[in-house]
Chain A
Amino acid sequence: MNLRWHHLALWSALIVGMFLLPQLVGKGTLRTIIFANYLALFAISWDVLSGRTGYISFGHPFLIGIGAYTSAIMTKRFDVPVEYAIPVAVLVTMAGGLVVLLPALRIKGSYFALVTLAFMELMYQLVQVIRPDLTGGTRGMSGIPTLTRGAANGFYLSTSLTLAVALSMWLLMRTQLGTALSAIGMSEESVRGSGLSATRLKLFAFVASAFIAGLGGAFYVHYLGSIAPRALFDINFLFTIIVAALIGGAGTIVGPMMGAFFLTFLLEYLRPWLPGAERYLIYGGIALVLYMYQPKGIFELVQTAWKRIPRLR
């Protein structure tokens, strides 16, 4: 796994630093961090699939939506306790991940991206017309049981979840499996030509990605207490996930976390000056410049800076 002392030190500092934050910042900032945490989860989920294997998913809200709706329907309509609903929602989302895998067995590149976009649109239409008594139709659902009360508790829960997922995935991707998944993104034919089952590796990536998306979606809906299909299956939401992963540094796990925090805080701090959609112009410009200057993202910038301090390594 090739772990070094500075990996342990950095992760420990991140975990301790995050859990000290409620003593240092206000509730408003904590709420922003909660949203950044969930965006980080979704970006990591996208990264495990698309950042590694190169199968660019434009339909990630499809998976997040399965997790969110399954848990919301079970708790709101059938009074299933949240602690049972969330694991079931995650399992159902993993089954959804298998559905997304099916086209990936035959197609790749832009064709795969378009098919996944169609999955998202299909889900958006289905939740509005199929059993609106369960899904809430176009209006969505409110009054969904929440897991926490207050910004600090919401912060602790979302932070624990995000750090647990990020650390697990980071460790997993440092094994030979991580190398094999990255190799799929570079040359699937050569992976097969090396005697490895590319289908099995893709199956793992799709199901692991769906696991995180389902977990994130289910916890997110029980943080918000409501679900609105127009916001969930929105192209802006989709692009925020992808841009967070890309400007953070695709294929790195830590990069998408950085990207999610960068984007969430950028949009939040621009709000007082630019309350409307103009904010997205600034965010687009910054993402473009960053991407032109360093296509490997913020993570690479940080790594480069780290390498310039040789005595600490």
Chain B
Amino acid sequence: MSYSLTVSGLVKKFGGLVATDGVSFHVEPGESVGLIGPNGAGKTTIFSLIMGEHRPTSGSVKVNGREMTRLTTAQRIRHGVSRTYQVPRPFRDISIAENIRVGLMPDNIWRMIRQGPDCARERELALSVGFGETDLARRPAELSMGDLRKLEMARTMATEPKVMLLDEVFAGLTVAEIAMIGELVQRMRRDGMTFLIVSHDLKALEPLIDRAIAIDRGRIIAEGSYGEVIGNPAVRASYLGAE
């Protein structure tokens, strides 16, 4: 079953700085939307507000019609929305399998003690993002940026999200790694996953999205198909600077 994502009138102020200024959009179940804009436009802040890592000054976030605004990050994840980070944040001193295990754990101390790890599922998730059998015991310090992103994808997928937010998922990757992550996203789209994807790599982003939303200075400046948004003069000006 696919979930929708609805953001309404999202405002976030950091002191005098307005990071998001009344952002509203809706992502249909199973739809993939690209969120684009120049550095500092407010894309990552929107992700943090959706995930509850920042409290909004006003506005609301709904996942599949359910109000998320007052829930903690962990509760939102259990309700089906997860994200990856621009800079991967692995658990550095434990193996790839154990990193994925943390995503698979029940949020209940008694069950954590009683239940053994689901090694088969850990392996399945690791292999699904492109790791090999021999990689399972490796530690994050031994991994390339591409592998770290794969690991983060696997740990995020372990939480069984219905809506995934991918933040700069192609940054620092080789062409082959971009293709591999792209293929993984396409496969998950076919399975009905709802995506909101932030990327500066517009070429890699285009085939992965149904439509795009462009923001600048915390406001939506264009919305529509990828071609329409990229061709929008306001979007071009925000990227290249107005004459």
Contacts and interface: CB of A to CB of B under 8 A. Distances in A.
Interface of A: 1, 172, 175-177, 179-180, 182-183, 186-187, 189-198, 200-201, 204
Contacts of B109: 177, 200-201, 204
B183 interface: no
Nearest to B119: A2
B51, B82, B89, B114: residue with the most chain A Cβ atoms closer than 10 Å = B89
A175 B112 contact: yes
9 contacts: A176-B105, A176-B112, A179-B105, A190-B89, A192-B53, A193-B51, A194-B105, A195-B107, A196-B74
A187 to B, nearest CB: 5
Interface string B96-133: 00100111010101001111110000000000000000
A197 B111 CA distance: 14
Given A1-B116, A200-B109, A193 B89 contact: yes
Interface of B: 51, 53, 72-74, 77-78, 82-83, 85, 89-94, 98, 101-103, 105, 107, 109, 112-117, 155-156, 158-159
A194 B112 contact: no
B191 to A, nearest CB: 20
Contacts of B113: 172, 175-177
A67 B91 CA distance: 35
A190 B73 CA distance: 11
Contact of B90 (A177, A190, A204): A190
B101 A176 contact: yes
A182 B93 CA distance: 9
Given A175-B112, A180-B105, A204-B109, A195 B94 contact: no
A179 B77 CA distance: 19
Nearest to A191: B102
A74 B107 CA distance: 39
Contacts of B92: 186-187
Contacts of A187: 89-92
Contacts of B89: 187, 189-190, 193
Given A193-B73, A196-B107, 10 more contacts: A172-B113, A176-B115, A177-B109, A180-B112, A183-B91, A189-B53, A189-B89, A194-B77, A195-B103, A196-B102
A1, A186, A190, A194: residue with the most chain B Cβ atoms closer than 10 Å = A194
A182 B90 CA distance: 12
A183 B99 CA distance: 8
Nearest to B52: A192
B156 to A, nearest CB: 8
B146 to A, nearest CB: 18
A175 B116 CA distance: 7
A205 B195 CA distance: 36
Nearest to B77: A195
B103 to A, nearest CB: 5
Contacts of A186: 91-94
Contacts of A196: 74, 102, 105, 107
A195 B101 CA distance: 12
B102 A194 contact: yes
A179 B102 CA distance: 7
B91 A176 contact: no
A5 to B, nearest CB: 18
